[in-house]
Structure 1
Amino acid sequence: MKYSKIAVSLLSVAAAALLTACGNQQSSSEKKQFSWSTGAELSTIDMSKASDTISYDQLRNTMEGLYRTGKSGKIMPGLATSSTVSKDGKTYTYTLRKSRWSDGSEVTAKDFVYSWRRTVNPKTASEYAYLFEGIKNATAITDGKKPLSSLGVKAVGKYKLVVTLDRRIPYFKNLMAFALFFPQSEKAVKKYGSKYGTASKYMLYNGPFVQKGWTGSNLSWKMVKNKYYWDKKNVKVDQINWSVQKTPATAYNLYQTSKLDAFSLDSSQTKQLAKKSGFQLVNNGGTAYLQYNLQKDKNLANTKIRQAISMAIDRNGLCSTLGGNNKAAKTFTASGLMHVDGQEYTSGISSASETYNQYNPKKAKKLFKEGLAELGKSSITVSILADDTDNGKKTVEALQSELEQNLGNIKVETLTVPFKTRMARREAGKFDIMLSTWIADFNDAISFLDLMTSSNTRNYGKWKNSEYDSLIAKSKVTASAIERVKYLQEAEAILLKDEGITPVYYMTTAYLIRPSIKNVYNDNLGGWQFKYAEVK
């Protein structure tokens, strides 16, 4: 999500007319269906190119890999019926069950090999290719130094997949439940060419549902039960109607008239509806943070300026404004994501490194003046980019007010744009400060910390620190679990002290889900799972 993986959930007025009422009084002859909402436009369903939670919500329910994620990130069975691991932990052998694509053709081990090679292929330019690091030759392939055929994955017959690693990967099983590692149909990719994954009809699916009706730009679509899914007997819902909305009040009105069955709440709704049946608080395993464009804005390249900005933010006050159960963040890694010998991972990060991520307007103003003096300036202007969602708008408005009030000689401009537009600006480096969110792809701090290495494609602000890079590299090769965690915590301490990014809050979202919708669950990594959903 894990966004950046963005975890928001709402529905647009334009899409409202297209929603099919769930109708809690469905007869046995009617379709079992319900309507769900998401907070931003769907950008792609090409798993090699997807990079956000909205896309991955579609993929985790229309596609399937070796495993699935269950409640609280628990690993559940997928296409792998069994697996073995070599004594040195570097070779995994999976036996696959017989299954089919949505056109009736077989899913085989070759589909995994093709999918993985496609993602690490430099020509694909996958933002997520770095997650293949550790699989034999993956990094050399993405660097253009070795051929795709050298990737450490091979098919042995139709139903056996063998994966070879360069080193042990402690979280490898968790990776296999992430949609990036699911199979893809080579036939479909070649048939649709550049259109692959850009609309519902330009795909083949092998998961519980098949997507229908998404054209690539519209704000409503649906998931329909996949008649070829190997475990279709346990899929109890015929159809899920999806739409996009950015207006919470409209979503609630649709909910009240049974035209919408689930939506995320804004701050006022969270307070008003907390005792209503169907109210849920979901821990997203994510962090909202500020990313600074150090390459574009030389003012922000000054460490004291970044530290001052961080200390000028009243995170507790902001969380109160946003509602829900968000908590002020002092670390990049989400709180509660990872535990080591019974201790929460973030508790082992040096408290001194968190100093600059606590509200202290007096010290913030002093640091800001020192930073301006180092720059030889009396004032600066910065712009904050964010999504045009309710949370996005409220957050940047609060930041604008606090920074200008607490720092003095700074002018803060705000720019809120549609999600897809923000992603485009992010990738083009067209921002000063960007409000981002990241949801872990699996339950490990490396899912966050990898992002800020100097070579990572998702390090959009181009922050660099050689000691940080070295510690992350050491964490990946050590055979000691204790040493590994130590390296990760030391690296995060460097990131926090230097304000490579500024953590703002740990993400928890409040939802209202119609009580008649059963067995829908969130994996606490920002993802909704509908395989076992029922309408009672």
Structure 2
Amino acid sequence: MKKTKTFLAAGTLLTAALALTACGGSSSSSSSKKELNWEESAEIPTMDLSKATDSASFTQLINTMEGLYRAKSDGSQEKAMATSEKISKDGKTYTFTLRKDNKWSNGDPVTAQDFVYSWRRTVDPKTASQYAYLFEGIKNAMDIQNGKKKPETLGIKAVGKYKLVVTLDRRIPYFNNLMAFGSFFPQNEKAVKKYGSKYGTASKYMVYNGPYVMSGWTGSNLSWKLKKNPYYWDKKNVKLDAVNYSVQKTPSTAYNLYQSNKLDAVSLDAEQSKQLKSVKGYKLYPRGTTFYIQFNQAKNKYLQNANIRKALSMAINRQSLTKVLGGSNTVAHTLTPEKLTTVNGKDYTSLISKSDEAYTYYNKKQAQKYLKQGLKELGVSKLNFKLLSDDTDGAKKSTEAMQSNIEETLPQVSITTQNLPFKTRLSRTDAGNFDMVVTAWGADFNDPISFLDLLTTTNAQNGGKWSNKEYDKLIAASKTTGSDSERWSDLSKAEGVLLKDVGISPLYSSTSAWIVRPNIKGLVNLRDHWDFKYASVN
């Protein structure tokens, strides 16, 4: 949730040293009102769940919308819109009974047809959803996305108002995880058609079926409010009246607001994390996130050369980079982060051949060797690349560090850094308007496929357009095998192919460091997405 999933604002945990005191207010001025004041690190690009791809959007969606299940912090799910589930013996048919006591914020009942409409809309190629690929395995989903069949043939149907039947082409081991992910939530057809192209672009152009409703978001502003939804079926267990959001891109500013009781929680950068570990309310949250470089192999002929990509990847000193970042960031040698998935008692990443990870290690001599080979193959003596990232303080320092690494290791390469607002960076990445981009992906659910699906040839998230037939074949095989051991083998081999060809270059994985006021209870953190349904202020 996504991953996000989901794209994350790169570098939100990173900045230079700040002179901070290890103290902070014990209660917020809003606590007596049963409200929280919260921060987000980036603007919201969209509230249209068929089009959302980023962390900021999905955090809002899990609080204002709800699907068949609701994700729990331990990776499991609890029933939400579904009151019961029946699975056929072959694992290909799911029958859900829906609750009858929930309404949309416009007063309409939430029905099985709302799920049917939503799923069809997302897989319809006219919608251009970047998350449509997650529906692969649901009957006819891929044929619909490829224009071979109509959205109405998707394997989902409403039986009356409150029974939903989903038919799969194959068994999906992580199906229930998907049902708790935002892309599978229902949508109100009346609202979508009423608002047309404006749907999801501002809080007033939406209707909601979750614990909260959004207000005050114009589509571009940096503050908004989540208010308790009076139509929500489980409103008795929603203790907060409101969550007041503001975008804070500078950690020092955010911490000052926390100290002055204007924020109830704050995300810490590296130096803050060092100095504030002993403060009450300090906690680390696993993000299930990997930051990595995408190389634009569609529009930059030089980056199509594998030796150039190998040289650039090996020129980055990740150990040094994580020291600059500080905190709990750790070097990443794989796209799938460690501690995401356990296979037979071992971490999934241990299945990946270490030799395939060779290009994720700093090696000046080897980097220069590969650059020399690449330059000879290309018939040039120098190269210039632009390195794109976000405009947060930390993202700027991160790209500066990598620029220094590459130019010092490879004198024939010149790097220009470009740091833009998250929403702008995201749109440029989606449009393929970059040479190299530092991006991040957070797991949508605890399975490697949440990461590895991204780099298949036709995946909309594959902004660099890396393509490898063997990789695609292995990922496809992992989805059709009935054997768990074969599935893990296919996935780990595929990741080895990706790393060996430097389809992307992993940089680091991160854990969020936060200070949350101790009088706030019931918060759920889902890989850096906050769920306020059960939150309260004591």
So what's the TM-score if we normalise by structure 2? 0.95
Residue 38 of structure 2 is matched in structure 1 by 36
Q: How far did 1:409 drift?
A: 1.0
Residue 516 of structure 1 is matched in structure 2 by 519
SS of the counterpart of 2:388? strand
Query: How well do the aligned residues superpose, as a CA RMSD in angstroms?
Result: 1.5
Cα offsets for 1:177-202 (capped at 9, x unmatched):
00100000011111111111110011
Residue 124 of structure 1 is matched in structure 2 by 127
Match of 1:85 among 73, 78, 87: 87
Residue 70 of structure 2 is matched in structure 1 by 68
Q: How far did 1:245 drift?
A: 1.3
Q: How far did 1:73 drift?
A: 2.2
Q: How far did 1:391 drift?
A: 2.5
Residue 189 of structure 1 is matched in structure 2 by 192
Q: How far did 1:64 drift?
A: 0.5
Cα offsets for 1:477-507 (capped at 9, x unmatched):
1111110110011110000011000000012
Match of 1:440 among 439, 443, 459: 443
Q: How far did 1:26 drift?
A: 6.2
Residue 535 of structure 1 is matched in structure 2 by 537
Contact 2:322 2:331 in 1 (8 A): yes
Counterparts of 1:443 and 1:223, CA distance in 2: 28
Distance 1:472 1:385, change over 3 A: same
Indicate yes or no: 2:453 matched with 1:450: yes
SS of the counterpart of 1:394? helix
Counterparts of 1:286 and 1:7, CA distance in 2: 11
Counterparts of 1:411 and 1:190, CA distance in 2: 49
Residue 374 of structure 2 is matched in structure 1 by 371
Contact 2:9 2:42 in 1 (8 A): no
SS of the counterpart of 1:183? coil
Cα offsets for 1:210-252 (capped at 9, x unmatched):
0110011110001000111111111111100001011111111
1:394-409 to structure 2, matched below 5 A, reads: 394-409=397-412
Cα offsets for 1:7-56 (capped at 9, x unmatched):
5769xxxxxxxxxx9964668xx520011111111111000010101000
Residue 300 of structure 1 is matched in structure 2 by 303
Counterparts of 2:458 and 2:254, CA distance in 1: 41
Indicate yes or no: 2:176 matched with 1:173: yes
Q: How far did 1:104 drift?
A: 2.1
1:339-350 to structure 2, matched below 5 A, reads: 339-350=342-353
Counterparts of 2:104 and 2:187, CA distance in 1: 9
Residue 467 of structure 2 is matched in structure 1 by 464
Residue 430 of structure 1 is matched in structure 2 by 433
Match of 1:97 among 88, 96, 99: 99
% same residue:
59
Indicate yes or no: 2:166 matched with 1:163: yes
Q: How far did 1:528 drift?
A: 1.3
Residue 354 of structure 2 is matched in structure 1 by 351
Counterparts of 1:4 and 1:443, CA distance in 2: 13
Residue 13 of structure 1 is matched in structure 2 by none
Distance 1:25 1:259, change over 3 A: closer
So what's the TM-score if we normalise by structure 1? 0.95
Counterparts of 1:487 and 1:24, CA distance in 2: 51
1:106-505 to structure 2, matched below 5 A, reads: 106-505=109-508
Q: Which sits farther off after the overlay, 64-73 or 362-371?
A: 362-371
Counterparts of 2:534 and 2:319, CA distance in 1: 37
Q: Which sits farther off after the overlay, 98-107 or 483-492?
A: 98-107
Q: How far did 1:390 drift?
A: 2.3
The one-letter amino acid paired with 1:304 is N
Q: Unmatched 5+ residue regions in structure 2? A: 14-24
Contact 2:87 2:95 in 1 (8 A): yes
Q: How far did 1:300 drift?
A: 1.1
SS of the counterpart of 1:201? helix
Q: Unmatched 5+ residue regions in structure 1? A: 11-20
The one-letter amino acid paired with 2:432 is G
Q: How far did 1:521 drift?
A: 2.0
1:16-27 to structure 2, matched below 5 A, reads: 24=28
Q: How far did 1:268 drift?
A: 1.4
The one-letter amino acid paired with 2:173 is P
Counterparts of 1:22 and 1:351, CA distance in 2: 47
Contact 1:353 1:494 in 2 (8 A): yes
Q: How far did 1:272 drift?
A: 1.2
SS of the counterpart of 1:290? strand
Counterparts of 2:213 and 2:348, CA distance in 1: 38
Counterparts of 2:526 and 2:262, CA distance in 1: 26
Q: How far did 1:363 drift?
A: 1.5
The one-letter amino acid paired with 1:48 is S
Q: How far did 1:454 drift?
A: 0.6
Contact 2:387 2:418 in 1 (8 A): yes
Contact 2:293 2:438 in 1 (8 A): yes
The one-letter amino acid paired with 1:89 is G
